[in-house]
Amino acid sequence: MSALRFERVWFRYGGNPVLRDLSFDIRAGEAVALLGRNGAGKTTLTKLVVALLHPERGYVRVGDRTTEGRVPEQMAHQVAYVFQHPDQQLFARTVWAEVAYAPKQLHRDSPGVERAVGEALERVGLDAMRDEHPYDLPSAQRKLVTLAAAIAQRPRVLVLDEPTQGLDRAGARRVADIVRRIKDERVAVLAVTHDVTFMAEALERALVLADGRIAFDGPAADLVGDEGRASDLGLDVPPAAQLSAALGLPHRPLRAAEVAAALAQDLDANRT
Ligand SMILES: Nc1ncnc2c1ncn2[C@@H]1O[C@H](COP(=O)(O)OP(=O)(O)OP(=O)(O)O)[C@@H](O)[C@H]1O
Ligand SMILES: [Mg+2]
């Protein structure tokens, strides 16, 4: 069974439809990039997943239940959502309280809450900040606090809107590690992103939204490695992918480590 399914979904805010008869499936353990030009409907789609919005026609299904007639609080045991801007999300007085909010709402016992919060803060590298006020942290760390809060929910679907925006490379790499790990735990991840390096590191599949429909559904590498397609979407090609294309490396690896391995192999072959 799919973890997340859109079934012939139509949505409009009032005027023209933003989503038109849109369908797709994401399985447990799959990490998917959601791409599309500005205004294509990416954020709208993510809000439909968490029941902040509801389809005009069609269904959004999380696990075996649709979002019909449900409000976001009723989705919280299945879906976690990290907003693009942490300041739209943060509300508690301490990092600990922020991350503990959802596990408490989900009626975990206190050792359970403590465990979930401790583990989530450790994953994002903020265990030392648990007593800080979120607003005293730099914005990159505020973003990681919202990610920890989502992890502590132990969702089956994790929705991320531009998760690496405002983070430096090290921060983005940490988010990529977190996504890979949560994917191994069979969580389905849907991430709106313009960060192609993050995409190459953590997301294997890409969905492109255009004219209210899915215009592309396939391996993220096929988009990221293709300069024409990528620039159509306003995406940069990752430096490692540019290098591997320029060198004509077989299989056009996208990640720096793979390019290095291919070059090392080449050198070895030339030596013998
Ligand atoms: N609350 C709203 N009321 C009316 N129209 C809206 C509302 N929110 C978004 N829209 C419109 O719906 C369309 C899709 O917007 P959405 O924010 O989902 O796009 P997006 O792909 O997330 O764009 P971006 O890349 O700029 O974040 C746009 O034309 C937008 O202007
Ligand atoms: Mg958006």
pLDDT tens-place string over residues 130-153: 999 999 999 899 999 999 999 999
Same domain, 65 and 161: yes
Give a yes or no: residue 181 inside a domain. Answer: no
State which ligand 1 atom lies nearest to the alpha carbon of 84.
Answer: 27
Q: What is the 3-state secondary structure (H, E, C) of the chain?
A: CCCEEEEEEEEECCCCEEEEEEEEEECCCCEEEEECCCCCCHHHHHHHHCCCCCCCEEEEEECCEECCCCCHHHHCCCEEEECCCHHHCCCCCCHHHHHHHHHHHCCCCHHHHHHHHHHHHHHHCCHHHCCCCHHHCCHHHHHHHHHHHHHHCCCCEEEEECCCCCCCHHHHHHHHHHHHHHHHCCCEEEEECCCHHHHHHHCCEEEEEECCEEEEEEEHHHHHCCHHHHHHCCCCCCHHHHHHHHCCCCCCCCCHHHHHHHHHHHHHHHHC
Give a yes or no: residue 176 inside a domain. Answer: no
- Tell me which residue of 261, 255, 229 sits closest to 242, measured CA to CA: 255
Same domain, 102 and 136: yes
Structure tokens at 97: 């309280």
For a ligand 1 pocket test, name from 10, 11, 43 the mutation site with the most ligand atoms within 8 angstroms of its C-beta. Answer: 43
Residue nearest to atom 30 of ligand 1 (CA): 39
Same domain, 93 and 66: no
5: CATH: 3.40.50.300
Residues in CB range of 32: below 8 A, 6 or more apart: 26, 188, 189, 190, 191, 203, 204, 205, 206, 207
Same domain, 135 and 160: no
Give the per-residue pLDDT at 135.
93
Same domain, 166 and 37: yes
For the chain, the domain total comes to 3
Give a yes or no: residue 177 inside a domain. Answer: no
Give the per-residue pLDDT at 236.
74
Give the per-residue pLDDT at 265.
86
Give the per-residue pLDDT at 206.
94
Segments in the chain below pLDDT 70:
none
State which ligand 1 atom lies nearest to the alpha carbon of 40.
Answer: 21
Give the per-residue pLDDT at 58.
98
- Tell me which residue of 206, 159, 208, 205 sits closest to 182, measured CA to CA: 159
- Tell me which residue of 210, 209, 207 sits closest to 199, measured CA to CA: 207
Give the per-residue pLDDT at 121.
97
Give the per-residue pLDDT at 30.
97
Same domain, 86 and 140: yes
Q: What is the pTM of this model?
A: 0.89
pLDDT tens-place string over residues 59-90: 999 998 999 999 998 998 899 999 999 988 89
Same domain, 161 and 148: no
Same domain, 37 and 104: no
State which ligand 1 atom lies nearest to the alpha carbon of 41.
Answer: 18
Give a yes or no: residue 205 inside a domain. Answer: yes
Give a yes or no: residue 175 inside a domain. Answer: no
Same domain, 60 and 163: yes
Give a yes or no: residue 178 inside a domain. Answer: no
Same domain, 31 and 162: yes
Question: Could you give phi then psi for residue 157, rounded to 5 degrees?
Answer: -130, 130
Domain span at 250 = 238-272
Same domain, 49 and 93: no
Same domain, 166 and 233: yes
